[in-house]
Amino acid sequence: MTFLDKLRGDKMPIPPRARGRAIALAWLGCLIAAGLLAWLHSYGQRAILIAPFGASCLLVFGFPDGFFSQPRNVMGGHLLSSLVALFCLHMLGPVWWGLALAVATAVAAMMWLRVVHPPAGANPVIVFMTQPGWDFLLYPTLTGALLIVVVALTYNNMTRGDLRYPKYW
């Protein structure tokens, strides 16, 4: 098998479309969580909104049963990635290879600690672009991730009948 053969994929069919109700519930959950984050951001004196939170909303409301969507992963992934990034930034300075090291280390640490949350992989990029202080761990990282998890816990358990969220802590 050549490299080009691999690029053709396994010829599996695309996944089925989600049901209309699931799409509507995901839409409403995202609207509530993102709206609350945006509202707090617009009225607060501290930033609470970062781009990866939009992707976190997609996971916790669109795919709440998935591994990446569990509270442990949302909270742990965002906190760990931001911590690694801040450490790299403050120890190495805002150099390109420091950013690369931060992203790679954050990914490896999330995998090792079993708190993989793909949106959190973008946190080091944000840290290196904005060069915040250590308070970035509290605002927006902890505050925003916690808000998403609280809304997801409430919303998913109110709207999904007998299905439970989370699957594990």
Using one digit for the tens of pLDDT, what is the confidence trace for 108-127?
A: 999 999 999 999 999 999 99
Residue 89 within a domain: yes
pLDDT for residue 134 is more than 90:
yes
Whether 164 is in a domain gets the answer no
**Is residue 166 included in any domain, yes or no?**
no
167 lies in a domain? no
Torsion, Cα 154 156 161 167, to 10 degrees, reads -100
Residue 43 in this model has a pLDDT that exceeds 90: no
142 domain residue, yes or no = yes
Predicted local confidence at residue 49, as pLDDT: 80
- Residues 6+ positions from 125 with CB-CB distance below 8 Å: 99, 103
Tell whether 93 is covered by a domain: yes
- Residue 95's domain comprises 21-159
In a domain, 26, yes or no: yes
pTM for this prediction: 0.93
Q: Indicate the number of domains in the chain.
A: 1
pLDDT, average across residues 21-27: 96
Q: Is 106 part of any domain? A: yes
Distance in angstroms (rounded) separating the CA atoms of residues 165 and 72: 12
